[in-house]
Amino acid sequence: MKKDKGKQEFLSLLTEWRRDFHRHPELSGSEKRSSAIIQTALARMGVEYQTYSGHAGVVGIIRGRQPGPVVALRADMDALPIHEDSKEAYRSVYDGVMHACGHDAHMAILLGAATLLSRSPDFSGTVKLIFQPAEEAAPIGGAQAMMDDGVLESPAVDAIFGLHVWPELPTGEIGIRSDAMMAASDRFMVKLFGKGAHGAMPHQGIDAIEMMTDVIQGLNHIMNRQISPLEIATLNIGTVVGGERYNVVPKEVTLEGTVRTFGDSVRQEIPKRMKRVLEGIAQAHAGNFTLDYHFGYPSLSNWEKPFEVVVEAAQSVLGSEHVHTSPDPALGGEDFARYLTRVPGAFFWLGCSGSGKGNYPLHNSGFDIDEDCLPIGAELMVQTALRALDFYQQSARLQGDEIRLFTKSN
């Protein structure tokens, strides 16, 4: 993308927004400053917007010159409880909080799309700009709260699109799949209960840490031997807390972890098998347990026609050779998937690696992006929205075709 004066000014504008968001990251449920910045920016553009009493979400509305379909574009807002390892001037000013997942870029990109659309609303229909809080707040997340507040209604959304900056791809490229792209993300907590005793007399107690070692092996056994190797599924234990003192038989241990799956049948089966393993181990040790299992974000599977719309838009902006339509799926969870259970839509990965940036993975303390991806993302969102509006405008004139066209790929 040649950086003429206009494009350079646009890049500078988006970079300024992104760096301001990056310097002031806010955790899930606390995105008040980010919300205020977004509201101010939309107001300066002359874009009407709506806020909510129960959360920091913002929805901008850009109406075209003629009535027509409604297409939504979504960005997430929240940061992560990670200490940033950076010497950049725009590093986080809050110790222990950083935008390690690129949501600062997502907000800047969507504000950039709003800028372009509001300058020339020469289209039929309406574009909704959804700035969503609490994407990182699994297993519930902010998408459900936005939908509960009617973000997909009044006017009703015909299709929704979103993106995520992706350090595995270079700037100027995107990845998108026509089917399952990101995994269902579930969360669990296991508490193991034994009996405390003096460490010199372990026979008088029930060792919860001994139980834990069997539980970890048992849970791994489920994934290694009870789940078909043709299924994509992982189970990870992220935290283990237990014990009171070096010379005391531990009476309680807590394990927390996550399960990632693509198929719904295996997703439903895993907690049943976990309970069975826990019952056997607890009985063998004469202990007890609780299993608190939460089904979180569903798997993200793009709809067929919206997928095609994104591909066509990206090919027009980037060239066909820079649009990858069969990348490996990712086991990361994404709250955007909830919208896709209600309305057609598609999600894509935006390359953000270049200029010495994008060398660290998402959720890493060193994560950063090549900011040249920002105007590319904004242009892609705009072209996707315009093509989707055009498609839905035309399809509305075709009787009987909507059911066929608005189905998910298998």
- For residue 265, give every residue at least 6 positions away whose Cβ sits within 8 Å of its Cβ, in sequence order, or none: none
Active site residue 135: yes
Q: 382, 323, 374: which is closest to 348 by C-alpha? A: 323
With H, G, I as helix, E, B as strand and everything else as coil, classify residue 118.
helix
- For residue 366, give every residue at least 6 positions away whose Cβ sits within 8 Å of its Cβ, in sequence order, or none: 85, 86, 359, 360
Q: 207, 290, 307, 222: which is closest to 256 by C-alpha? A: 290
Backbone angles phi, psi at 25, to 5 degrees: -70, 150
Quote the radius of gyration of the chain (alpha carbons, Å): 24
Altogether, the residues listed in the chain come to a count of 410
Residues 59, 114: Cα–Cα separation, whole Å: 11
Find the distance separating the first CA and the last CA of the chain, reported in whole Å: 35
**Residue-wise burial string across 78-96, b where 16 or more C-beta atoms lie within 10 A, e elsewhere:** bbbebebebeeebebeeee
Q: Which helix (H) or strand (E) holds 164?
A: strand 159-170
Which one from 26, 78, 84, 186 is the annotated catalytic residue? Answer: 78
Which one from 135, 158, 304, 368 is the annotated catalytic residue? Answer: 135
Give residue 407's identity as a one-letter amino acid code. Answer: T
Active site residue 85: no
Residues 310, 169: Cα–Cα separation, whole Å: 17
Which residues are known to be catalytic? 78, 135
